[in-house]
Amino acid sequence: GRTNDVVYSVASLPRHLVPLLRYWWHSAPERHRRISQSYAAIIALAANEHAALIPEAGADPLVRRSGYRSLHRTEAALEEAAAVVDMLASEYGVRARVIGQAELAAAEPALTETGAGAVHWLDPWTVSEPGALVSAYADLFTRCGGTLFNGDAATLKPAAGGGFEVRCRDGRIDAEAAVVALGPWSPDLLRRFGYRFPMVRKRGYHRHFDGGKKLHLPLQDPAFGYVLAPMAKGLRVTTGAELSGRQGSLRPIQLDRAEIAARGLLDLGAAVEAEPWSGVRPCMPDMLPVVGAAPRHKGLWMNFGHGHQGLTLGPATGRLLAECMAGEQPFVDASAFSPARY
Ligand SMILES: Cc1cc2nc3c(=O)[nH]c(=O)nc-3n(C[C@H](O)[C@H](O)[C@H](O)COP(=O)(O)OP(=O)(O)OC[C@H]3O[C@@H](n4cnc5c(N)ncnc54)[C@H](O)[C@@H]3O)c2cc1C
């Protein structure tokens, strides 16, 4: 709460207290190191899984493969970041380059403030329209023979003759197996089946700005806890984590602060939307997604809790789940992600 990365309202803290305490417990250095190794194993394969789908889905124009930058406003902050770059390179093979103020200014001429320079993270891919990417994948799924139904997942229940049933707009569907993949809504549904999953729900906001200057690559501004990204609708300002009530804050204070900070870096132009968008990042206390079989219900499977990186991880955890369901050898060790750990 001391910086703009994370804010909370005291009134909503009781809702977050137990998951947060477990989050803190898992943040102890040795536990965090083990978690990072499990996370690294799957995140390292995430872009490959997208790579297999992107051309098939005709989504190449949506994807940039040139990384993103983190701006550091002072020499001390840049030096600290350089030490993290060295650590991540030696422990996890993450590729990044520390660039000075002049190189940053040349790469992003729109910036009127370049601080001490930046870290250019070279490996990440970024997307100009995440919703369009997901729609392209959904179209690919139907072209490959899949069928999409709309319905209320809360109607999911064990079927009389075995398996599961769920109500859809087009009627009832019976299936041998069901996957609960409802992001932040998953624990609520699973409670009805007797499972209690603690979850840290981190709300984030974004808003687009247009009519000002443009950036070539997304730019993180860690001093003010937000990201500026060139998107199809304009420059998007995205905030960090708000530990709020179910509906979020009425006045997204992090977004207000981020907008002021961003206006100090470049000409942002005017807001595109009258109201900002907000969504919830479904974070598990041990920071790993929940992927695998429900411990006490044959045929019930889970795939949720992807936290800050659900778009990135979707194809990888989808493949992992499919391999577990088909009884195949999983392409990464599935044990760290097992629902049975809760
Ligand atoms: C501000 C912000 C920025 C983010 N940035 C990134 C990023 O840069 N990269 C990245 O990889 N990830 C990012 N994420 C995280 C990412 O959005 C999530 O991890 C991801 O959406 C989780 O996917 P999911 O399918 O599990 O859940 P969701 O995307 O939340 O989908 C769950 C779906 O279930 C539906 N649903 C709920 N209840 C029912 C019901 N009863 N019946 C039927 N349907 C129901 C909901 O409507 C929803 O469509 C960001 C999140 C936020 C909030």
Residue 236 maps to which CATH number?
Answer: 3.30.9.10
Q: Measured in angstroms, how far is the CA atom of residue 200 from the centroid of ligand 1?
A: 14
List the residue whose alpha carbon is closest to atom 10 of ligand 1: 309
Tell me: the pLDDT tens digits for 276-302?
999 999 999 999 999 999 999 999 999
Residue 215 belongs to some domain of the structure: yes
**What count of other Cβ atoms lies within 10 Å of the Cβ of residue 122?**
13
Tell me: the pLDDT tens digits for 167-185?
999 899 999 999 999 999 9
Residue 144 belongs to some domain of the structure: no
276 and 293 assigned to the same domain: no
Ligand 1 within 6 A of 182 CB?
yes
Ligand 1 within 6 A of 167 CB?
no
Ligand 1 within 6 A of 63 CB?
no
Number of domains the chain contains: 2
Q: Give the closest residue to 229 by CA, choosing from 253, 258, 252, 256.
A: 258
219 and 247 assigned to the same domain: yes
List the residue whose alpha carbon is closest to atom 16 of ligand 1: 310
Nearest atom in ligand 1 to the alpha carbon of residue 304 is 26
Residue 2: per-residue pLDDT: 80
Tell me: the pLDDT tens digits for 229-264?
999 999 999 999 999 877 777 779 999 999 999 999
The verdict on ipTM greater than 0.95 is yes
List the residue whose alpha carbon is closest to atom 34 of ligand 1: 182
68 and 155 assigned to the same domain: no
Residue 97 belongs to some domain of the structure: yes
Residue 259: per-residue pLDDT: 98
Ligand 1 within 6 A of 206 CB?
yes
Residue 78 belongs to some domain of the structure: yes
User: Mean of the pLDDT values across residues 308-314?
Assistant: 98
Q: How confident is the model at residue 198 (pLDDT cuts 50, 70, 90)?
A: very high
List the residue whose alpha carbon is closest to atom 14 of ligand 1: 308
Q: Measured in angstroms, how far is the CA atom of residue 181 from the centroid of ligand 1?
A: 9
CATH number at residue 40: 3.50.50.60
User: Mean of the pLDDT values across residues 323-335?
Assistant: 97
Q: How confident is the model at residue 9 (pLDDT cuts 50, 70, 90)?
A: confident
89 and 216 assigned to the same domain: yes
Q: Please state whether beta strands 200-211 and 164-168 pair in parallel, antiparallel, or not at all (unpaired).
A: unpaired
Q: Give the closest residue to 305 by CA, choosing from 321, 287, 318.
A: 287
Q: Three-state DSSP class for 298? A: coil
Residue 272 belongs to some domain of the structure: yes
Residue 307 belongs to some domain of the structure: yes
Q: How confident is the model at residue 11 (pLDDT cuts 50, 70, 90)?
A: confident
Ligand 1 within 6 A of 304 CB?
yes
Q: Higher confidence at residue 103 or residue 250?
A: 103
Q: Which of 14-28, 286-300, 301-315 has the lowest mean pLDDT?
A: 14-28
Tell me: the pLDDT tens digits for 58-72?
999 999 999 999 999
Output the average pLDDT for the chain. 96
12 and 96 assigned to the same domain: yes
Evaluate if residue 108 carries a pLDDT over 90: yes
Nearest atom in ligand 1 to the alpha carbon of residue 306 is 19
* Domain end (from 234, 251, 281): 281
* Domain end (from 236, 263, 281): 281
* Range list of β-strands (E), 176-216: 178-180, 200-211
Ligand 1 within 6 A of 89 CB?
no
CB 175 within 8 A of CB 151: no
Q: Residue 97 is part of which domain span?
A: 6-17+64-128+206-281
188 and 318 assigned to the same domain: yes
10 and 85 assigned to the same domain: yes
Ligand 1 within 6 A of 261 CB?
no
Residue 309 belongs to some domain of the structure: yes
117 and 216 assigned to the same domain: yes
Ligand 1 within 6 A of 166 CB?
no
Evaluate if residue 305 carries a pLDDT over 90: yes
Q: Which of 121, 185, 192 to mutate to test the pocket of ligand 1 (most atoms within 8 A of CB)?
A: 185
DSSP character for 302? E
Ligand 1 within 6 A of 154 CB?
yes
Residue 87 belongs to some domain of the structure: yes
111 and 242 assigned to the same domain: yes
CB 203 within 8 A of CB 9: no
* Domain end (from 281, 308, 330): 281
Q: What percent of the chain has pLDDT over 90?
A: 94
Residue 245: per-residue pLDDT: 77
270 and 235 assigned to the same domain: yes
Ligand 1 within 6 A of 152 CB?
yes
Q: Which of 164, 197, 208, 308 to mutate to test the pocket of ligand 1 (most atoms within 8 A of CB)?
A: 308
Q: Measured in angstroms, how far is the CA atom of residue 302 from the centroid of ligand 1?
A: 15
183 and 213 assigned to the same domain: no
Residue 244: per-residue pLDDT: 81
Q: How confident is the model at residue 1 (pLDDT cuts 50, 70, 90)?
A: confident
122 and 176 assigned to the same domain: no
Query: Measured between alpha carbons, how far is 205 from 240 in angstroms, rounded to an integer?
Result: 8
